Every structure is written in structure tokens, then in C-alpha cells.
Structure 1
Amino acid sequence: MKEQKPKGGKRAPEGPNAPEGGWGWMVVAGCFLATICIRAVTRCVSMFFVEFQMHFEKDYSTTAWIHSLIDSTTMLCAPLGSFLGNRLSCRVTVMLGGLLSSAGLVLSSFASSVEFLYISLGVITGLGFALSFTPAIAIVGKYFVERKALAYGIALSGSGIGTFLLAPAVQLLIEHYSWRGALLILGGIVSNLCVCGALMRPLEDMEVQKTKPSSRCQNFCLKTREYFGFILIPSFLILSVSFLFLAYGCSSPVVYLVPYALSVGVDHQHAAFLMSTFGVSGIVGNITFGWITDRKCLKKYRMACYMVAIAMEGLCCMFFPFLHSFSLLVLLSSLYGYFDGAYVALMPVVTSDTVGSSYLTSALGVVYFLHGIPYLLSPPIGGWLVDQTGTYMTTFFLSGASFMLSSSVLAAAVFFRYVLKMCERTNGKKQCTPPVNVSDFLSFFPKRKK
């Protein structure tokens, strides 16, 4: 059954002969394991925050650069992962990234200074994660069209499940083997990215498609257009601005959740449990939002669901500094994690809806690249604010405001485009009087023309 073309533009061309299952579920499993090794491990680096601070006797902002570097390097180098994924294959690129990131974690266990960790944990491990992350996510979109949101929901739930399992495990590893032994063991866990990459078998039609540009495009500009022709699409530019605010907001709360809990009297094991709660509720958000937004009645409202998830996460973030009991922190961590899982699952989906699946690998590289600078600056700025004010309130409020701005940018764009579309429907009438049509308003974002 052919899908009806949305008003205001043709639907973006989807992946060639997407099988909608079969080996695609093994690819989903590979991406699921990859997100455990990448995003869950990155989140659990915050468990080392206090250990690094005490061992090297550094302040909040200096120590925060470690986490910000690993996150920002992963995102800033995402286009490199996209490029290698297009030129080599997603399988090879993910395996290369696994070897590099594992080596970085092993080297970090021998660190003699914070500066050493900046390079080994921040740059080397981050670069390895960058090579693995984007291709692992992009290849899922090549195997699914109709069930794309559900496939991404399952695949990206690895981040939440990994956080749920690894957070208490890392705390125990630190207690029994010190932070050096814990990093060494994490290096072994991350080496499983090589196994994940082995599952990511390319579609044959995709391989044929990749060989064509090299035979007919010897000019660099033509090759660039082949990979990055989506960048000037107006809706993608708007989405990009929203991503910048989003990236600033989502980094600091994860870094400072455990230190904040410790500062209000929560013990180490319970603070680790907050990270586990955050992770397991993220799983629910991943899968439920993925399943719900794949329903026919809600497919055209994916962007609206994405905006709501971001706005709700911002509100949760602003409430953190008002809570001082462990039970309330657990409740808010659950809500925060749920909406975090929701937007994470929908991010590649709304990107694919905007640029088309043929550009998805390159587009995700750009999307995650845009996260790089905010990820680099957010934790140190948050740490500096804690150092200056002595509280976490300003740090959490600034992150929450960034979430709200991200959602507001998209909402403003939705309203503006809605007004223009209604004006076009007046068929030349002098006044522009948009009818009250909630369905048209919420299903705003245009699909990329063929």
C-alpha cells in the first residue's frame, strides 16, 4: 500500500528495498549493544567524577572537562564516522571505532594526571566512539521504513539498559578495584563493539549505490553534494538550531546528577541507583515513544511528540535543585529519564523524515557534530557555576532553559510555516486568515522533495 504524500511537498525517498525485518532485527541488536558500549559507558564516566576530583585534587570545572571532552569528541568527529561509513562500510567503521575506544579506556587506567585523561579518555576514546556511533545508528534506518521509530526505540534503548546495569556495577568496580581497575574492565566491555559491527551487514543495493558516485563523480564538489546536499534544506537548518540548544541542555544534568545527590546527603550506592533509575526509565521512553509514533494516526505528529518530550525534560531539569530527599530524586530521575529516552529515540526519526533516508548517514553525522561544541562547554560551565555559587541551582536551571529554547525554536517554525501554508490556501485572497486546523498545525515539518 502506497503511503499518501503529505501536503506541501513530496515524501523523501526511503532506503532501497528496506526489508522491514529479517536480518534487520540483528542489525537492531547490534545497534542496541553498540549504544550500551558507547552512550551508557559515556554516562557512567560521571561515576568517576568524584574519584578523579579527589585523586588529582582538582575543582569542579577542571574535572568536568574530562566528561565534556569524551562527549564533544564523539559528536564533533561524527561526520568522520559518517564519511567512513559511506566510503568503507558501517560494519568496518564500527569495528575500527571499537578497537580505538577500547584502547583509550585501557590507556586511561594508567593516567598520571588530569591532562593525561583529557587525551586518553576524552580524545582517543571519544574518537573511537565517534567512528562507531553514527554508522551503527544510520544503518538501522536503511533496514526499516514503516517500523522505523520502533526499530530505533529498541536499538537506542541500549543506552538506558546499559546505564541501569553499568551504573551500580561501575560503582562496585571502583570500590573493589579502584577507578583504574574499573576503567580497565570498561575497556574490555567496549571492545565488544567489534562484535556489534560484525552484525551490521550492508544491504546489497546500498553497496551498489555507493559505487556509483565514485564512477561518475571525480569532482570534489560533486562528491560533497552527493553526501551533504541536504544541509541547505530550510527545515533541516531550523532543526539544526534546535539541536544546538538541546545539546547544551542534555549534557550537564547527567554529569551532575550523582554529585548533586551526594551533596544533599545521599550515599554513594543510592546515588548510583539514581543513574540506574534514569537509565531504566529511558528504556521505557525509547520503546513506548517509538511504538506509539509508528502508529498511522500519529506518524505525522512525530515532530510534535519530539517537541513535547524536549519541553518536559526541560521542566524536570529545573525541578532537580528543589529536591533533597532520595525518594523524590528517584521519582524525578524516572521522569527525566523517560523523556530523555523519548527524544533520543525520535531524533534520528525526525532527521530521516526531514532529509530522507538516502542522506541519513551523512545527516546524522552533521546532527551529532552540532552537539559537539555545546557538549564541550556545558559541563565546565556548569562546574564553574557550582564553584562560584556553591549550589547546583544555576547549573540545572540553565540546562532546563536550553531544553525549553530548543522546543520553542521548533514550535515557532511550526507556527510560521503553518501560517504561510494557510495563506497559500486562500488562493490569492488579500487577507491571510488561517482556519483552526489542529491536525495541519501539528503535522508541520515538510518531507524532503525527491
Structure 2
Amino acid sequence: MESGCDSGWSWVVLTCVLLSQVAMGGICLTGGVMYVIIERQFGENPVGNFWLCAMPFTMWFLSPPLGSFLTNRYGYRVCGLVGTCAASLGLMLSFFVKHRDPLFATYGFLTGFGLGIHYTSGYAALNDYFDKYKVLATGIASIGNNVGLVAFSKLISVFDRRFSFSGTMLILGGLMLNLCPLSIAFIPRRCTQKVNEIKGLDDKKCINIFLLKNLSFVSWIIANFFTNISLSIYFLQLPAYSIQTGFTEENFSILWLSYGVSNIVGKVVFSALAQSPRVNTIVLYTVCLATSGLVIGLTPVLLTQTGVLVLTGCVGFFSCVTGALIAAVTFEIVGFENFADGMGLVMPFKSFGNLIGGPLGGLLLSSTGTYSVSFYTAGSSMLLASLFVLYPELNKRFGLDTYRSKRKLKSELRVEKNTVAANTCETEALTQRVINIDIKSRKCIDECINE
């Protein structure tokens, strides 16, 4: 089977990445379901429990810098295997935990850390194996997260009822090991035409932090920070809030079904739109974020099962761009050469937003006693994120960075001119001193001759 760009083996790799995303989404996106279980298992403590349930998702996005390093140094196959083993070990160690706090290290840190490394390897492989259909491939791969969310939200509830919390962790750890054979399919390669354009890419040893000098990229990572504050609050509090509107622990998985199906449809629709050269990916991303923020803010207004179900579907449809188009927008801002480093720098900011969103939501719930303020905060954060996403497009159209660069260049030229003038004065003064010394020397010589 061919192993070139957009060839037969490329689609095999895409299938493996898709299945990997199912497992990763099933663990990291079900924090709201885990919150209900952990609260029942270890007691009520909204801030601590929300923080714990946000940890896998947080570490998933915090570990890609190391994943980027491993990918650049050892290849994405090794990176995928290392991440898989770490994630599985974290879940299996949670089987032995009898108190909540050690779960921060096992279920929270180690599991999320491993999944983040595997995530980076999968998307790095897609970046290598696809060229013409890159946007479509990343969009299809991200569908796996939604399938995992729908399937695992139900499975985790069933496992908990039948095997208790400890048994559930052990089973999930075993399921994660299935990512090992999927990682083996990531055969290291580079598209020949791109290798010729980028000399020495395989020799990179660290992340290019100079990308942070690019204001468009900085605006993009800030947007991801606020996006994940919003999504963290929403994901973690929706299941518990839905119980107040009439859902039960046994059937609130229908909310995730509504979210997951609409999210999948959205990813197909928006990935296809982004594939068209007539569609501006950044503007599309901005509109979807703004719409998501408005819908999230409306969640406390509709206190019926039907209302919550419809709004959940709308959030799923429009927020899908955070998975389907994040690679495409990053690629558009930083280019192919810096893509892996760009993704590696974006993900930590997503994780910081997620890390803040969990306990922030718990704090708002504890202090107000209602979920309304949390959803209003989440909606506002998403709207703010949409404004930051728009900056790279404004910069491209109106040359905001160009104006800044011109001012900086004028300042540098002014300093250089002053330096040259100062050096000229010093040179002239030195020349005059030499002339004076030379005159004095000649006078001394003449006096000696006359004597």
C-alpha cells in the first residue's frame, strides 16, 4: 500500500487516530459524569471534586509540549506508545486508591499526561500523511472524541453500578491498552516535497518559543485559554445541573448523546466548509465561538428538559470547531514548518483555561448556591475568546503587525543613526588627538636637531 501524502496508508493512519480519539474522549470529556460518581464515593466538596474531574482534560492539553519534543526527537510511533502506557498505568493505579486526593496523581495527572502525549503523536502523523485533505482528515479524527463521550458516559455509569468505582478504573485502564496496536500503525515518514522545503526539520530538539513573538499567534493561544475556561465549566456542571431540570443519573447520558451527535454533524459540516478555498477558516471559527457563547449563556434560562436538550445540541454543533478546526487555524497562522511547535504551545494554554475553569465553576457554585452564574460566566468567556480569534484575520487584512513593525523599525533606525553619529564624533575627536600628538612629536624632533 502506498505511503505517500493522501495515499492508501494515510487513510489507515486516519482510522487509527480516529479510534484513539474515541478512547481519549471517553476518558477526558466525561468529567461531568465522573463528578457525580466521585461526589457520591468520596463526599461533597464542589471545588476539589470539580478540580479533580478537570485534571485529565487539563493534562491532556498540558503535555503536548513534551509530546512535541518526543515526536521531533523519536518519532510519533514511540510517542504514541509512551503516552498509551502512561495513561493505562494511571487508571490501573486508581484501582488501589481508597481516598480522593491520590486520584489527582493517578487519574488526574498520569492518565491525562499520557493521553496528551498520544494526542500529539496522532495529529503529528496526520500532518505528515495528509496534504490536500489535511483539514478534512483532522476534522474526521476529532469526531472520535464525540463518539467516546457518548459511549463512555453510558459505559462508566454501567461499570460504576456493577463493579464500583475501583473496578471501573481497572476496566478503563485495560481498555486504554488498545491504543498500543493503533500507535504501531504510525509509521514514521515525511512528505518528500515538504522535506525539501524544510531543511533539518528532523533535527529539531525543542519547541520554537519564538512563535510567541507573533502577535497573531499570541492572540490565538489567549483565545484558546478563554475557550477552555468556558468549556470546562460547561462540561463539568451540565450533568449535575440537568438533574435539577428532571433528568436522572441513569438517563442524563441522553444529553451527551444530543451533544455528541450534533457535534459530529457540525464537524462534518464545518470541516467540509473549511476545505473550500472560498471560506475563511478564522472567520468561520470566530462566528461559531460567538454563537456557542450565546447559547451557553442561555442554558439557565430554559429550565425544562426539552430546553436543556436543545441548547446542549446547539452547543455541540457550534463548539465543534474547537476540535475540528483548531489544527487548521494553527496551520494557517504559523505554517507547516512550525505546526508541531504551534500545537505544542497552544495546548498548554488550553490546559490552563481548563485547570482554572473547573475550580472556578465549583467556587461560583459554592458561593452562590446556583448554577446560573457559572453558565453566564462560561458564556461570557466564550464570547471573549471569539474576539481574540478575530485578531489574526484583522492583522492579515489591515496590517496591524506591519504598522507596529514599521514603528519598531523607525525606532531602530533612529537609534542606529544616533550611534553612527556618536561614533563619527568619537572618530573625529580621536583623529584630532592623533594630529595634535603628531605635531608635538615633530616639534620635539626639530628642537633636538637644532640643539
Q: TM-score category by the smaller chain?
A: 0.7 to 0.9
Amino acid at match of 1:154: I
1:132 maps to 2:118: yes
2:49 alignment partner in structure 1: 63
Distance in 1, Cα, partners of 2:315 & 2:90: 30
Rounded Cα–Cα distance in structure 2 between residues aligned with 1:253 and 1:246: 11
Partner of 1:292: 273
Deviations 1:381-414 (A, max 9, x none): 1011111111111111111111100111233554
Match runs of 1:204-215 below 5 Å: 204=190, 212=200
Q: Displaced runs of 4+ in structure 1, greater than 6 A? A: 206-211
Q: C-alpha offsets along residues 201-234 of structure 1, whole Å, 9 cap, x if unaligned?
A: 121558988994687x8xxxxx557x44533223
1:327 aligns with 2:306: yes
Match of 2:289 in 1: 310
Give the unaligned 5+ runs of structure 2.
Answer: 404-451
Alignment of 1:239-254 (within 5 A): 239-254=220-235
- Matched letter for residue 68 of structure 1: A
Residue 269 of structure 1, CA deviation: 2.3
Structure 1 residue 84 and structure 2 residue 65: aligned? no
Residues 88-113 of structure 1, C-alpha deviations (whole Å, 9 max, x = no match): 11111111111110111111122211
Find 1:377's aligned residue among 353, 356, 374. 356
The alpha-carbon distance between structure 1 residues 149 and 204, as it changes in their structure 2 partners (threshold 3 A), is closer
Per-residue Cα deviation, 1:149-203 (whole angstroms, up to 9, x for no partner): 1111111100011112222222122222222222221111211221221121121
SS in 1 for 2:8: coil
Listed as ranges, the matches of 1:34-49 within 5 Å are: 34-49=20-35
Q: Which residue of 2 aligns with 1:391?
A: 370
Corresponding residue number in structure 2 for 1:448: none
1:49-76 CA-partner distances (Å, limit 9, x unpaired): 1221122113111111112222222222
For residue 337 of structure 2, the aligned residue among 344, 352, 358 is 358
1:417 to 1:149, Cα distance in 2 relative to 1, 3 A: closer
Q: 1:416 to 1:342 in 2, by over 3 A?
A: closer
> Out of 233, 240, 247, which is 1:259 matched to?
240
Bigger fraction of residues in helix: 2
Q: Which residue type is aligned with residue 342 of structure 2?
A: A
Alpha carbons 2:26, 2:145 under 8 Å: kept: yes
Task: Answer yes or no: is 1:343 the counterpart of 2:322.
Answer: yes
Calculate the TM-score normalised by the size of structure 1.
Answer: 0.83
Aligned to 2:257: 276
Contact 1:168–1:276 (CA under 8 A) maintained in structure 2: no
SS at match of 1:105: helix
Shift of 1:115: 0.6
State the match for 2:166 in structure 1. Answer: 180
Query: Which residue of the partner structure matches residue 443 of structure 2?
Result: none
Select the structure of larger CA radius of gyration: 2
Measure the CA separation in 1 of the matches of 2:321 and 2:95. Answer: 34
Distance in 2 between residues matched to 1:267 and 1:224, nearest whole Å: 48
Unaligned runs of 5+ in 1: 1-16, 218-222, 425-450
Asked whether 1:113 is paired with 2:73, we answer no
| 3-state SS in 2 of match to 1:269 | coil
Please say if residues 128 and 190 of structure 2, whose CA atoms lie closer than 8 Å, have aligned partners that are also in contact.
Answer: no
| Inter-CA distance 204–416: structure 2 relative to 1 (3 Å threshold) | closer
- 2:38 counterpart residue number: 52
Identity %: 26
Aligned to 1:191: 177
Q: Aligned in 2, Cα 1:323/1:269: closer, same or farther, shift over 3 Å?
A: farther
Q: Is the 8 A contact 1:71 1:372 kept in 2?
A: yes
Q: Is the 8 A contact 1:153 1:288 kept in 2?
A: no
2-structure distance, mates of 1:60, 1:33: 33
Task: Kindly provide the amino acid, as one letter, of the partner of residue 262 in structure 2.
Answer: S
Aligned 8 A contact 1:248 1:399 in 2: yes
SS where residue 324 of structure 1 aligns? coil
Contact 2:59 2:116 in 1 (8 A): yes
1:410 to 389, 395, 405: 389
Deviations 1:318-342 (A, max 9, x none): 1111222222222111111111223
Per-residue CA deviations over 1:112-160 (Å, capped at 9, x if unaligned) read 1111111111111111112111121222122222222111111110001
